[in-house]
Amino acid sequence: MSRRAWAVTVRYRASLSLVGTVLRYLSIPLLVPLLVSLYYAESVVPFVVAVLLTAGLGTALERLDPDPDLGAREGLLMVAFTWFAVAVVGSVPYLVEAHGVPGLMAPIHPDSTLGNPANALFEAMSGFTTTGATVLGDISFDSHTRGVMLWRQLTQWLGGMGIVVLAVAILPELSVGGAQLMDAEAPGPGIEKFTPRIARTARILWAAYMGFTAIEIGLLYGLHVVGPPLGMPGLAPNMDLYNAVAHGLTTMPTGGFSPEARSIEAFSAAVQWVVIPFMVVAGTNFALFWHALAGDRTRLFEDQEWRAFLGVLGVLGAIVSAVLFTGSGFVETAPSGGTFETAYLTDVAAAVGASVEPSIRHALFQVVSIVTTTGYANTDFNAWSPVLKYALLFGMFVGGSAGSTGGGVKVVRWYIVLKTVRRELFTTSHPAAVRPVRLNGRPLDEDGIRGVFAFTALYLVLFFLGTLVLFLDAARVGQGLSVLATMSAVAATLGNVGPGFGAVGPMGSYLGFSAPAKLLMVVLMWIGRLEIIPVLACLTPEFWRR
Amino acid sequence: MSRRAWAVTVRYRASLSLVGTVLRYLSIPLLVPLLVSLYYAESVVPFVVAVLLTAGLGTALERLDPDPDLGAREGLLMVAFTWFAVAVVGSVPYLVEAHGVPGLMAPIHPDSTLGNPANALFEAMSGFTTTGATVLGDISFDSHTRGVMLWRQLTQWLGGMGIVVLAVAILPELSVGGAQLMDAEAPGPGIEKFTPRIARTARILWAAYMGFTAIEIGLLYGLHVVGPPLGMPGLAPNMDLYNAVAHGLTTMPTGGFSPEARSIEAFSAAVQWVVIPFMVVAGTNFALFWHALAGDRTRLFEDQEWRAFLGVLGVLGAIVSAVLFTGSGFVETAPSGGTFETAYLTDVAAAVGASVEPSIRHALFQVVSIVTTTGYANTDFNAWSPVLKYALLFGMFVGGSAGSTGGGVKVVRWYIVLKTVRRELFTTSHPAAVRPVRLNGRPLDEDGIRGVFAFTALYLVLFFLGTLVLFLDAARVGQGLSVLATMSAVAATLGNVGPGFGAVGPMGSYLGFSAPAKLLMVVLMWIGRLEIIPVLACLTPEFWRR
Ligand SMILES: [K+]
Ligand SMILES: [K+]
């Protein structure tokens, strides 16, 4: 097939044009950190540059096709492109902060690790995909402006419910092909269109998402405000408005970025208890909330995926609580190159062991944070014993629910896999029997089941292969990594979880990797957020043929 | 449903009766170690007791149903029972050697670790399933008779090509239902019946297996004999007839037991190079040899599974060779609790680094040994750096070919999984397209593909869950295990590989686990050898209902 025939079969200009529209609209949320910087009397140049660049690039792309019309393949391409494009332009404020603009502004923080383009792209992709893996060297306002730090939080919030879902909600030109686009972007095997018009569904999803975010911000800031008058100054002393907003913006998208270097450990037990249920909500299928608000609460409480999701949280939480409570849940000596000191280990072990509330809180918070793929830490779980780290690694593969903002394989897929395996055991001993696999009472079609298995297998194959490649690269550059650290780095980026173990632990960072390794992980985060298949489909030769 | 209705639906007596027939015949190979003990002037009591017990139990079980007639479920049950039963009676010589027989014989080696029933069962199941994981404390003729050590080797040889295949080959009463029984036992998704009569197929398989075993024994012993006359006394000085037979019996079944504590490291480079191709042969589909011997050699060389299998060996071998050659393939310091000393590490690193033949030999031998699930070691790969250990762990999941004696997931399953995923990528962008998945040019039916995915998913789920349970048990008893060691213990027992890393490394043993953990691994080896589904099917309630 000639090159020319290639070029005309997939109308990539139509895809790029719509990417342009999304970019043009992206300049609006960029005004939020601009205003924050203005409020804190910081330079607004990083955001002015980003707004101009994003709007300009968007307008230019839109000109490629004034009346874009998307088929199946153009839709896949548009979704895959969109997510890469937002990460690229989203990294601009980080680069400008570090390098300044010649003749206009001197570098604000010339030592920022995000001055390196690979790092800036990593941080932006990690943000939009709600991964929450960081390459910030020093997470503090000494090294970054409050505007940039808020942008970092905001990227997660924008990516959480889905940039394409947001586009479908607000762009009238997507009211026709929108369902298919949302399918390509949405977490889980197929989204539920719970209203006849897809734009309305998208708007409801975003409204619920905004509502939960507002409630969490209100509760967090409320604790801060009511503490002193109630005579409880320790209730949430450092959860000021900035922090309440910053964490509200990263809980609901299961993002996990925090402007605090110690993540949620920096806050009180009360704050931690408030965050837990919001992570659970973020990991729940949002369609179920819609049904519950519409009066049908049994849909939520009898949903098989939700029950399995809560079951996993309960069982894993109980196991981890029990091990922490016995006092054997901590490593005996601080490992060299770890992210904590022996004194820290002794303190945490003493506070948690044999104490009911701390052991349940540490266990439940971390299990919920990892399984929902939020990635917050209320303790440096690098200090935990290997068995508990393995339990968390295990949890990374479970993931959130379909239709939630969580990543990973997703509970419903495991549920379908296990029910189908069960059916296979039955047909082995009853070869003549025909039995459909049911979910919430409805039989699933075999094509859908096959898709679930293909995704799950591909996910695990990419995990194992990605770990091998990352490990070989680490050996090449002489970066001393353990098997667990390397596996967790791949599981945490592909699953959009964020922190792993060892050097990439919750108080560590991904800075130590080589630039090629970081770019590999950028790709893992990207394809992980879009659930692999849509992106990889664009990379096959058959995609480009008639 | 009443208990009585349960009892009559599956005619378990028919299954047990045939298990009895197999046991009765098992008393014949027990005569081999008996004769060896006689030759070396050791007590024959362990084997006399085992012969009597096996023949007696077999005869008693046969009486349960004088004219057994197997349906689908009775066949599954018979296969599952058979493999458990042979492990139980196979452990008798180990127990008698340690405990003696009151009034007849004093204990021969009262300190034998196999005096513990859980250990004896573990060693016997590890033997028959060709796992090769050991709980021997001291692997030497000081702690065990030559007869018992040969029995340990022989269990692997008997299990390798399949006990049920052997039964079908020699028992006329299985000439009708034999194909189905072999399907339940055979490694891989369905066996190829390359002759019209199943008993003939079974006989050909066993004949080829015996032939390859005889050739290997001849070559190994030949090296030993011709070395001194050729002026090369170092060619194979310690590969005497006992050792040649002992290793011939454990290569072709991809077993990996060795009477030498240092496994194949105890032998010369020439011996190691001879063993490598036999491991490759053992990991190949035996039906292909049949076709090649029948004159159709293209079937072998163009077989997609075989080419993928050799490709995996080549790529992994090249990677490991390169890393060893650069000298960065070894850990910098000997870990505490490891199975080697710093002096050993220095010696091996010095001999291998920057030397072509040793680095290729060490790499290729270990990669072939692990991927084929043989489990021999020609070096203590615990001394290798984490990235190489991970590469070997990765190889454990590949496994041998369908229709070979190898374990693991099997190459053809991964091949089908990846081709189906590729098809899924295609249908994502071409929703209307219908395209079959082909293997060697023939389209696969969708039910078969679903079975492959179900197996692969179940395998990985059992791996992750088994690791969690084993790890929790290790934490319970205060056994210090790393994540890698625990994962490798589960991968190596479920995949019938044998050695893992850390305490369960190639020069270590599984002795340190608790009795419940050992029993868990006995079950993993058992279900792993029978490819999980047949055994688990027997454990579902539906199996026992009409
Ligand atoms: K996250
Ligand atoms: K083995």
**Tens-digit pLDDT profile for residues B78-125:** 999 999 999 999 999 999 999 999 888 999 999 999 999 999 999 999
Confidence at A2, pLDDT banded by 50, 70, 90: very low
Given a cut of 80, whether residue A19 has pLDDT beyond it is: yes
Distance A281 CA to ligand 1 centre (A): 14
Highest-confidence segment of A254-258, A446-450, B169-173: A254-258
Residue given tokens 């050991």 in the structure block:
B134
Determine which of A79, A483, A501 to mutate to test the interface with B (most B C-beta atoms within 10 Å).
A483
Structure tokens at B493: 């027992």
**Residue B436 neighbours by CB under 8 Å, 6+ apart:** B443, B444
Determine which of B315, B325, B427, B429 to mutate to test the interface with A (most A C-beta atoms within 10 Å).
B429
For residue B496, which phi and psi values (nearest 5 degrees)?
Answer: 55, 40
Among the residue ranges A17-31, A505-519, B69-83, the one predicted with the least confidence is B69-83
Among the residue ranges A127-141, A412-426, A523-537, B329-343, the one predicted with the least confidence is B329-343
The C-alpha atoms of residue B107 and residue A288 are separated, in whole angstroms, by 68
On whether the CB atoms of residues A249 and A220 are closer than 8 A, the answer is: no
Task: Please list every residue in chain B whose beta carbon sits closer than 8 Å to the beta carbon of residue A328.
Answer: 475, 478
Distance B255 CA to ligand 2 centre (A): 4
Query: Taking residues A391-419, what's their average pLDDT?
Result: 93
Note whether A483 contacts B389, CB cutoff 8 Å: yes
Query: Taking residues B165-173, what's their average pLDDT?
Result: 81
CA distance B192 to chain A (A): 18
- In what helix (H) or strand (E) does residue B469 lie, and over which residues does it extend? helix B446-476
Task: Please list every residue in chain A whose beta carbon sits closer than 8 Å to the beta carbon of residue B536.
Answer: 425
In this complex, the residue of B76, B394, B429 whose CB is nearest that of residue A76 is: B429
Residue given tokens 């039910």 in the structure block:
B447
Confidence at A84, pLDDT banded by 50, 70, 90: very high
Given a cut of 50, whether residue A204 has pLDDT beyond it is: yes
Given a cut of 80, whether residue A191 has pLDDT beyond it is: no
pLDDT for B165: 83
On whether the CB atoms of residues A494 and A459 are closer than 8 A, the answer is: yes
Note whether B390 contacts A467, CB cutoff 8 Å: yes
Total tally of structural domains belonging to chain A: 1
* Amino acid found at A300: L
Confidence at B1, pLDDT banded by 50, 70, 90: very low
CA distance A448 to chain B (A): 11
User: How many alpha carbons fall within 13 Å on the CB side of residue A396?
Assistant: 28
Structure tokens at A5: 């025939």
Task: Please list every residue in chain A whose beta carbon sits closer than 8 Å to the beta carbon of residue B390.
Answer: 467-468, 471, 483, 486-487
Given a cut of 60, whether residue A7 has pLDDT beyond it is: no
Given a cut of 90, whether residue A427 has pLDDT beyond it is: no
- Decide: helix, strand or coil at residue A319: helix
Task: Please list every residue in chain A whose beta carbon sits closer than 8 Å to the beta carbon of residue B319.
Answer: 472
Structure tokens at B453: 């995915």
pLDDT for B341: 85
For residue B330, which phi and psi values (nearest 5 degrees)?
Answer: -120, 150
The C-alpha atoms of residue B129 and residue A438 are separated, in whole angstroms, by 36
Task: Please list every residue in chain B whose beta carbon sits closer than 8 Å to the beta carbon of residue A319.
Answer: 472
Highest-confidence segment of A286-295, A477-486, B147-156: B147-156
Task: Please list every residue in chain A whose beta carbon sits closer than 8 Å to the beta carbon of residue B451.
Answer: 424
The residues whose Cβ lies within 5 A of ligand 2, an ion, are B 132, 256, 373, 375, 498
Determine which of A419, A453, A545 to mutate to test the interface with B (most B C-beta atoms within 10 Å).
A453
Task: Please list every residue in chain B whose beta carbon sits closer than 8 Å to the beta carbon of residue A487.
Answer: 390
Evaluate whether residue B52 is within a structural domain: yes
Picking from B250, B240, B500, B460, the residue whose alpha carbon sits closest to that of residue B366 is B500
CA distance B383 to chain A (A): 14
Alpha carbon A251 to chain centroid, angstroms: 10
Given a cut of 60, whether residue A194 has pLDDT beyond it is: yes
Mean of all residue pLDDT scores within chain B: 91
Structure tokens at B267: 């032998």
On whether the CB atoms of residues B544 and B9 are closer than 8 A, the answer is: yes
The C-alpha atoms of residue B227 and residue B233 are separated, in whole angstroms, by 5
Mean of all residue pLDDT scores within chain A: 91
pLDDT for A533: 87
Buried b (16+ CB within 10 A) or exposed e, A312-337: bbeebbebbbebbbeebbbbeebeee
Pairing of strands B438-439, B442-443: antiparallel
Highest-confidence segment of A151-155, A283-287, B174-178: A151-155
Given a cut of 50, whether residue A195 has pLDDT beyond it is: yes
CB atoms within 10 A of CB A41: 8
Note whether A481 contacts B386, CB cutoff 8 Å: yes
Buried b (16+ CB within 10 A) or exposed e, A195-219: eeebbebbbbbbebbeebbeebbeb
Determine which of A416, A425, A459 to mutate to test the interface with B (most B C-beta atoms within 10 Å).
A425
Maximum distance among all Cα pairs of chain B, rounded to whole angstroms:
79
DSSP-assigned beta bridge partners for residue A438: A443
Evaluate whether residue A219 is within a structural domain: no
SS (H, E, C) B320-356: HHHHHHCCCCECCCCCCCCCCCHHHHHHHHHHHCCCH
pLDDT for B187: 60
Among the residue ranges A409-413, A431-435, A488-492, B510-514, the one predicted with the least confidence is A431-435
Given a cut of 50, whether residue B5 has pLDDT beyond it is: no
pLDDT for B366: 97
On whether the CB atoms of residues A184 and A168 are closer than 8 A, the answer is: no
Q: Say which residue, A433 or B3, is predicted with more confidence.
A: A433
Task: Please list every residue in chain A whose beta carbon sits closer than 8 Å to the beta carbon of residue B464.
Answer: 394, 397
The C-alpha atoms of residue B106 and residue A412 are separated, in whole angstroms, by 60
User: How many alpha carbons fall within 13 Å on the CB side of residue A274?
Assistant: 24
Given a cut of 70, whether residue B191 has pLDDT beyond it is: no
On whether the CB atoms of residues B23 and B54 are closer than 8 A, the answer is: yes
Note whether A542 contacts B454, CB cutoff 8 Å: no
The C-alpha atoms of residue A169 and residue B113 are separated, in whole angstroms, by 69
Structure tokens at A296: 């049908």
In this complex, the residue of A426, A455, A482 whose CB is nearest that of residue B542 is: A426
Confidence at B178, pLDDT banded by 50, 70, 90: confident
Percentage of chain A lying above the pLDDT 90 cut: 68
Query: Taking residues B1-6, what's their average pLDDT?
Result: 42
Buried b (16+ CB within 10 A) or exposed e, B171-200: bebbeebbbbbbbbbbbbbebbbbeeebbe
Alpha carbon B264 to chain centroid, angstroms: 17
The C-alpha atoms of residue B414 and residue B229 are separated, in whole angstroms, by 48
Percentage of chain B lying above the pLDDT 90 cut: 68
CA distance A475 to chain B (A): 7
pLDDT for A438: 92
Evaluate whether residue B191 is within a structural domain: no
Given a cut of 90, whether residue B176 has pLDDT beyond it is: no
Interface size between A and B, measured as CB pairs under 8 A: 168
**Tens-digit pLDDT profile for residues A259-305:** 999 999 999 999 999 999 999 999 999 989 988 888 888 888 999 99
Given a cut of 50, whether residue A30 has pLDDT beyond it is: yes
The C-alpha atoms of residue A230 and residue A405 are separated, in whole angstroms, by 35
Confidence at A6, pLDDT banded by 50, 70, 90: very low
pLDDT for A337: 62
**Residue B198 neighbours by CB under 8 Å, 6+ apart:** B168, B175, B178, B179, B182
Evaluate whether residue A279 is within a structural domain: no
In this complex, the residue of A483, A533, A542 whose CB is nearest that of residue B483 is: A483
User: How many alpha carbons fall within 13 Å on the CB side of residue B185?
Assistant: 29
Domain that holds residue B106: 9-185
Confidence at B337, pLDDT banded by 50, 70, 90: low
Note whether A429 contacts B537, CB cutoff 8 Å: yes
Percentage of chain A lying above the pLDDT 70 cut: 96
On whether the CB atoms of residues A512 and A416 are closer than 8 A, the answer is: no
Last residue of a domain, one of B139, B170, B185: B185
- Decide: helix, strand or coil at residue B438: strand
Evaluate whether residue A445 is within a structural domain: no
Query: Taking residues A426-437, what's their average pLDDT?
Result: 86
Given a cut of 60, whether residue A5 has pLDDT beyond it is: no
Note whether B420 contacts A454, CB cutoff 8 Å: yes
Given a cut of 60, whether residue A1 has pLDDT beyond it is: no
Task: Please list every residue in chain A whose beta carbon sits closer than 8 Å to the beta carbon of residue B484.
Answer: 482-484
**Tens-digit pLDDT profile for residues A319-371:** 999 999 998 889 888 776 677 888 888 899 999 988 999 999 999 999 999 99
Evaluate whether residue B469 is within a structural domain: yes
Pairing of strands A438-439, A442-443: antiparallel
Evaluate whether residue A537 is within a structural domain: yes
User: Taking CA atoms, what residue in B is nearest to A421?
Assistant: B454
Picking from A137, A24, A11, A147, the residue whose alpha carbon sits closest to that of residue A78 is A11
User: How many alpha carbons fall within 13 Å on the CB side of residue A218?
Assistant: 6
Distance A251 CA to ligand 1 centre (A): 9
Structure ipTM: 0.92
Given a cut of 80, whether residue A193 has pLDDT beyond it is: no
Picking from B406, B366, B365, the residue whose alpha carbon sits closest to that of residue B254 is B406
The C-alpha atoms of residue A133 and residue B350 are separated, in whole angstroms, by 40
pLDDT for A175: 72
Note whether A429 contacts B76, CB cutoff 8 Å: yes
Query: Taking residues B173-201, what's their average pLDDT?
Result: 74
Distance B496 CA to ligand 2 centre (A): 5
User: Taking CA atoms, what residue in B is nearest to A542?
Assistant: B426
Rounded to 10 degrees, what is the CA torsion of B221, B222, B224, B225? 120
Distance A395 CA to ligand 2 centre (A): 30
Maximum distance among all Cα pairs of chain A, rounded to whole angstroms:
79
The C-alpha atoms of residue A309 and residue A313 are separated, in whole angstroms, by 6
Note whether B471 contacts A394, CB cutoff 8 Å: no
Percentage of chain B lying above the pLDDT 70 cut: 96
Task: Please list every residue in chain A whose beta carbon sits closer than 8 Å to the beta carbon of residue B425.
Answer: 533, 536-537, 540, 542-543
pLDDT for A328: 86
pLDDT for B190: 58
Q: Say which residue, B408 or A175, is predicted with more confidence.
A: B408
The C-alpha atoms of residue A156 and residue A128 are separated, in whole angstroms, by 5
Given a cut of 50, whether residue B332 has pLDDT beyond it is: yes
Query: Taking residues B305-321, what's their average pLDDT?
Result: 96
Evaluate whether residue B335 is within a structural domain: no
Query: Taking residues B323-339, what's their average pLDDT?
Result: 82
Note whether A454 contacts B538, CB cutoff 8 Å: no
Cα–Cα distances in angstroms (integers) from residue B177 to residues A476, B199, B527, in the given order? 56, 10, 22
Task: Please list every residue in chain B whose beta carbon sits closer than 8 Å to the beta carbon of residue A431.
Answer: 72
